[in-house]
Amino acid sequence: MGRKVIIAGNWKMNKNAAEGAALVEELKHICADSGCSCCGEVDVVVCPPFTTIAAVVEAAKGTPIKVGAQNIHWADNGAFTGEISGDMLKTSGVEYVIIGHSERRQYFGETDATVNARLKAALKYGLKPIVCVGELLAEREANRTEAVLSTQIRGGFAGITGEEMAGIVVAYEPVWAIGTGKTATPEIAEAAHAHIRGELAAMFGTEVAEKVRIQYGGSMKSANARELVAQKDIDGGLIGGAALKAGEFAALIREALGK
Ligand code: PEP
């Protein structure tokens, strides 16, 4: 469908400024040494913690590597201790922002309504959102996966225009696969991705839904990236653990491209 593959590394609460810059430097060297042009062929994004962003933006300058944040607040500024605004991210050189990661939903009370508010702030500041959805193990076992995904999509993307939706990245992350080493099979992942695209088509029309990039996330690594990204509706990955080592991340990018 001509959708460009997007591989994003979610560093979570790992890597201080020096460590983050070193990881990007190592990634640059691996790409240069191997003559690999993968970072130009796919969108490669790294999402460090807030205090590491400046160092990573500096290290990534002049390369195709893009920088993302892991959260954004819906207000422009004000009394929101511990939060970060769209303006702060934009002026720090951030291009992407992860919204509604399952760890935010699980540990910090994120809901579809707050996801929606954060999404609107990201769009207001010209940031490219990566919006995470996904079911818990108990929900999958109760055959509620599709219903859960539909609710998250309907709530998370309420009030968004079709034009905005076409530029939003959705990350399907089954919660039972995150950080557990249990990857969804390509068939299970593809079925969920197809459902998500169908739900987007119902909300925004087929033309828009076909433009939306849907990443898979949940223990993706170099060993399984190829078969996952080969699926019709899987357009890349949101990567946790495997994004923390430059060699593995670079190998994963190559596999996702089928090289
Ligand atoms: C994530 O945190 O988004 C994730 C997919 O983590 P992991 O790759 O470690 O499962």
Q: Render pLDDT for 163-186 as a digit per residue (tens, 0 to 9).
A: 999 999 999 999 999 989 888 999
Whole-model pTM: value is 0.96
Is the beta carbon of 220 within 6 A of some atom in ligand 1? Answer: yes
pLDDT given at position 120: 98
pLDDT at 161 over 70: yes
Task: Look at ligand 1, atom 3, and give the residue with the nearest C-alpha.
Answer: 240
- Dump pLDDT digits (tens) for 92-108: 999 999 999 999 999 99
- Dump pLDDT digits (tens) for 108-153: 999 999 999 999 999 999 999 999 999 999 999 999 999 999 999 9
Is the beta carbon of 20 within 6 A of some atom in ligand 1? Answer: no
- Give the strand pairing for 66-69 and 6-10: unpaired
Give a three-class secondary structure readout of 84-120: CCHHHHHCCCCCEEEECCHHHHHHCCCCHHHHHHHHH
Is the beta carbon of 252 within 6 A of some atom in ligand 1? Answer: no
In angstroms and rounded to an integer, the radius of gyration of the C-alpha atoms of the chain is 17
Number of H helices, E strands in the chain: 13, 8
Residue of 13, 98, 219, 244 with the most ligand 1 atoms within 8 Å of its CB, for mutation: 219
Residues composing the chain: 259
Contacts of 15 (CB under 8 A, 6+ apart): 23, 48, 49, 52, 244
Residues 8-34, mean pLDDT to the nearest whole number: 94
Mean pLDDT of all residues in the chain?
96
